[in-house]
Amino acid sequence: MNKKIIIVASVIILTIIIYQFFLKKEEIDYEVLRVERGNVVQTISETGQVQKGEAINLSFKNSGEIERIYVKVDQEVSKGATLAKLDIGQLSIQLSESRSVLSSAQSEFQKLLSGVSQEEINKYQTAVSNKEITLETENQDLKDAAEDAINSLEDAYLGSYNAKISVDDTQRTYFTKNDQESITVASEQQKIASAVFGIKSYLDKVNTESSQENIDSALSQSRNSLLVISESLRIIRGTFEESTYRNIVPAATKTSLDTHRSNINTSVTDITNAQQVISLAKLAVETAKGNLQAAKDDLALLIAPPRQEDIILYQNKVNQAQAQVDLLNRKIADSYLKSPVKGKIIEIKKEPGELAQATGQDIVIVMLSDAPFEIKVDVYEEDITKVEQEDEVEIILVAFLDKVFSGKVILINPAEKVVDGVVYYEVVIAFEETPENLRPGMTADLVIKTDSRENVLIIPEEAIQKKEEKNIVQVFKDGQTEEREIQIGLVGSDDMVEVISGLEEGEQIIVE
């Protein structure tokens, strides 16, 4: 019985092992999502209270000189009517400049994405061809310089050989004694013979294999040998003027030796010049090679597809330029003081030419709303920076739970309100249409739409990782993942985030 139990238990254990290691699918602990376009909305939820309408103090959002006031006291105005205007001359100039920068950035970005024209490619290919021709010319000049150098070596050998023959003949004819002069001439004669042999061997090596390295070596060593020969000829010529031989060696022999030494010195000069010409030709060849490679690199860079980092860089330039244009447009729009509601002007506190401060307390116009009711709500200091006048508001009244009413922010009180040590700011909201049977004191649940983006690339906030102050996502491509830095914009209240650059529509990202 125990044996059967052991066998059954073994079978069960074996089955579990096979299931765990072979049949059970690996659990996926992440999700792959496709980058898509959508809308991002940022909202603030608050609770306020319906109150009777009060006088509305209106001021500019920007500082500046008041250019014009369009209304008078007791004048009825409609919602959205322009009441006053700041001087926008300087802002208009800045906007024009910013639009030019934006247009340039967009053109550069489009050029990067579209690639270069065939005409520009032809231009760079022509540059490569010209550099190739230049290199061929410089190579030919180096080859010609090498051939001239070989000719100079041959002339040097011929001149040194003739000098040797002349010295040999002179030594046999006039310096056969055992005196000091004969010993000196014999010694210098051996030096000349050795040097001439060396020049011959260098020349033979060049003629066997005329590589540039052999030619350079032959020129250097032959020049040294020629200097030895020239010095030896000078010493031998000096023995001719010793008292014992001054009248023995004939003038013709002396003249012949002087001529040989002069020819040797000329060969030294010719070889030195040949070395310099070759050196300059080599430098020209290396320069031409560098220029050709640079032209090839430029062409390769021109026709290469744009790198992701370049796309991000140029996209960021466009985004920055667009942000500046948007900022200036907002400043210009904010330079017009408009009526937030339908009502009557009851006081004008400024005149054209006066300065208006963007403090919120520098009141320009006071008006009374036609609407009998408004909603006041205290907004926490961390959220108040997101709220602006004209922000849309969804209003749900406890007394009318089956309806959602529309409203707009018409006033943000600049003075803080401290409640239990916490700082709040009062925000006034007007109804688009006043509900029937509305009463003061009613509770209103509010959703203030502080910002939005439409038809933009969006991803879940949880897909973004922070690394060294950078926003990083894991991109799933070809069965592998890669880290990529992205630039983000608006963070929505539904945890969706706007992607400004770094991703393209349709790419897949990993959400762990």
Q: What is residue 434's DSSP assignment? A: P
Q: What is the mean pLDDT of residues 34-40?
A: 89
pLDDT tens-place string over residues 403-429: 898 988 888 877 788 888 888 888 888
| Range from 146-160, 332-346, 465-479 carrying the lowest mean pLDDT | 465-479
pLDDT recorded at residue 23: 47
Domains of the chain by range and CATH? 29-53+374-512 (2.40.30.170), 123-303 (1.20.58)
pLDDT above 60 for 1: no
CA distance 445 to 401: 10
pLDDT recorded at residue 359: 67
CB 424 within 8 A of CB 378: yes
Higher pLDDT, 55 or 193: 193
Token representation of residue 442: 């009613």
CA distance 116 to 300: 12
| Range from 173-182, 194-203, 419-428 carrying the lowest mean pLDDT | 419-428
pLDDT above 80 for 487: yes
CA distance 313 to 329: 24
CA distance 37 to 40: 10
| Range from 21-30, 218-227, 422-431, 445-454 carrying the lowest mean pLDDT | 21-30
Which of 203, 116, 190 lies closest to 153, judged by CA? 203
CB 414 within 8 A of CB 361: yes
CA distance 298 to 287: 16
CB 450 within 8 A of CB 391: yes
Token representation of residue 424: 């709040």
Instruction: Give Cα 240 distance to the centre of its chain.
Output: 78
Q: What is residue 79's DSSP assignment? A: T
pLDDT recorded at residue 425: 86
Q: What is the mean pLDDT of residues 435-452?
A: 86
CA distance 25 to 412: 58
Number of C-beta neighbours around residue 367 at 10 A: 24
Per cent of the chain over pLDDT 70 is 94
Residues, the chain, total?
512
Q: What is the 3-state secondary structure (H, E, C) of 305-321?
A: CCCHHHHHHHHHHHHHH
Token representation of residue 350: 């400024």
Instruction: Give Cα 177 distance to the centre of its chain.
Output: 85
Q: What is the mean pLDDT of residues 368-383?
A: 86
Location of structure tokens 């254990």: 13
| Range from 184-198, 230-244, 375-389 carrying the lowest mean pLDDT | 375-389
Which of 122, 144, 143, 128 lies closest to 288, judged by CA? 128
Q: What angle do CA 50, 56, 61 make, to 5 degrees?
A: 115
Token representation of residue 308: 């992701």
CB 480 within 8 A of CB 495: no
CA distance to 44, 170, 439, per residue, from 399 (Å): 22, 137, 10
pLDDT above 70 for 8: no
Which of 436, 355, 354, 450 lies closest to 394, judged by CA? 450
> How many helices (DSSP H) and strands (DSSP E) are in the chain?
8, 20
pLDDT above 90 for 275: yes
CB 2 within 8 A of CB 476: no
| Range from 9-13, 142-146, 365-369, 464-468 carrying the lowest mean pLDDT | 9-13
pLDDT recorded at residue 84: 94
3-state secondary structure (DSSP) of residue 427: strand
Q: What is the mean pLDDT of residues 238-263?
A: 93
Band the pLDDT of 384: cuts 50, 70, 90. Answer: confident
3-state secondary structure (DSSP) of residue 295: helix
| Range from 8-12, 184-188, 484-488 carrying the lowest mean pLDDT | 8-12
Q: Is 452 exposed, middle or buried (0-12, 13-18, 19+ CB in 10 A)?
A: middle
Instruction: Give Cα 398 distance to the centre of its chain.
Output: 56
pLDDT recorded at residue 26: 47
pLDDT tens-place string over residues 109-153: 888 888 778 888 899 999 999 999 999 999 999 999 999 999 999
Token representation of residue 475: 């991109």
- Mean pLDDT of all residues in the chain? 88
Q: What is the mean pLDDT of residues 45-49?
A: 89
CB 345 within 8 A of CB 71: yes
pLDDT recorded at residue 15: 56
Q: Where are the alpha helices (DSSP H) in 175-250?
A: 180-208, 212-239
pLDDT above 50 for 460: yes
pLDDT above 60 for 430: yes
Band the pLDDT of 381: cuts 50, 70, 90. Answer: confident
Location of structure tokens 């520009």: 120
